[in-house]
Amino acid sequence: MSQANRTLLKVLVEQRRWRYADFDRHLRRAAAQVLDGGARNLTVSESQFRRWTSGRVQTLPGSHACLVLEHMFGVDVSALFGPPPTPDSLAPAFNLEDEIAMTARDAQSEAGAAAAESISETTLDQLRDDVTSLARKYSSTPAFDVFRRARELREEAETERDRTQVPAQKQELLILAGQACALLATAAFDLGSIDGARRLSRAAALYGETARFDPLRAFAGGTLAYIAYFSNQPAEGARLARRAQAFAGLGDVARRRLAAIEARAFGHLGDVASARRALDASQRDGQGRTDDLHDEVSGEFGFTVERLAMSNSSTCLLMGDGEGAEAAATRSLELAAAKPEAARSVRVVGGAAADLAMARLLRSDLDGAVEAMTTVWEVPQGQRSPGLLTRTARVRRALTGSRFRVAQAAVELGERIEDFTRLSAAHQLGTGSGPLTALEG
């Protein structure tokens, strides 16, 4: 370009070392600040940018573009499209004070744009509190209500993630969306939707991978493991549980949960030695390690001692260890009873009671089984998860054996179990009609 064709606009753009993309970005931000309505979306093509800075423009741009250009450079638009001032006759645009003012305007504009691309920390705090609250209330909330609320929270986290360009906020919103997704997976499982739970668990794992948050990946991996053995794939369940234990940064609670899930998978495989090894690992004293999900958020992401005992009672039943199952189930019920009623999980209490009934049937104690099942009947319809229904179904099958078939108490108990199952949320919603094949905690 000859010196005669250069414009002041070209000189100012070169001084700022702007390429076309830089110019267009600043133009759009300035338009958002000074224009109203649809005009706020003002942009410029690269070919138009070249014409503006080449000296080939015969008429000034439209009024909206003129307003924005004057705001960007602090110079009358007619001067921008004219030739630059000569060195011996500097225009006011090259006055040092004006240059400082222009730089200040640019900085203010950039800072304002950056602020507009973040979200309030108050919004982030509230979303974090909402996810934590739902996780901690899970044990006392119907699965359908959890599912509906968790879906809202995941959508909210995604909406806020689209609004911010701050990397730290984006990462935390990914983690919160992933936690909500993990709660969705657990609720879907408790409602009897195995395929939905599997898909949601994989989505939660992907959120954790994207956010580089391994505790979430481990939790989702454990969920996928018990979904696998619940779906008659115990070898896959054991593999997934072992893989989840390889993630870094896990606390003792996380590792205890995964070991208990692994033990159950091996129990379903009939590998008593491996099941016993994993069961022992789940009860081993930890090293005082914690993580930000299983310990800090806790609730459904945690793994209480009574839940561990209930899970291990099921593993003992799978290994044919009735005595060990009765001891573990009894311990689970005692630990739960020691807590305030509001802090007890009816799913854990119901599951442990069903395991206790089964353990007593193994030693032909029908009256003891009937007594244990009285606790099961207290579980509300909306919290009768497939894991609990699996346990009661196992008791129902045991009652059809030759030892109990003609006993009136066995007949009545079996009929009550059928009614208990029929009135569960999963069966009422049509998601729990398939075979119950595993023992889930």
Q: Is residue 84 part of a domain?
A: yes
Average pLDDT in the chain:
87
The answer to the question of residue 409 being in a domain is yes
How far is 15 from 296, CA to CA, in rounded Å? Answer: 52
Query: Which ranges of 284-407 would DSSP assign to H, the alpha helix?
Result: 305-318, 322-337, 346-362, 366-376, 386-399
Residue 421 falls within a domain, yes or no?
Answer: yes
Is 95 contained in some domain? yes
Q: Is residue 427 pLDDT above 80, yes or no? A: no
Distance CA 177, CA 156 (A): 8
Q: Which residue has the higher pLDDT, 64 or 335?
A: 335
Tell me if 36 is assigned to some domain.
yes
Query: Distance of alpha carbon 288 from its chain centroid, rounded?
Result: 25
**Number of C-beta neighbours around residue 298 at 10 A:** 15
Confirm if 293 and 251 have CB atoms less than 8 A apart: no
Domain C-terminal end among 116, 133, 158? 116
| 192 falls within a domain | no
Query: Residue 106's pLDDT band (boundaries 50, 70, 90)?
Result: low
Whole-number pLDDT of residue 41: 72
What's the rounded Cα separation, in Å, for the pair 24 and 190? Answer: 52
- For residue 31, give its domain range: 3-116
Last residue of a domain, one of 89, 116, 143: 116
318 part of a folded domain: no
SS3 424: coil
pLDDT in the model for residue 93: 46
For residues 279-295, give the mean pLDDT.
Answer: 94
pLDDT for residue 58: 77
Residues 383-403, mean pLDDT to the nearest whole number: 90
**Residue 101 included in any domain:** yes
What's the total number of domains in the chain? 2
Place 42 in a pLDDT band, splitting at 50, 70 and 90.
Answer: confident
Domain limit, last residue, from 116, 142, 174: 116
Measure the CA–CA gap between 237 and 243, rounded to whole angstroms.
10
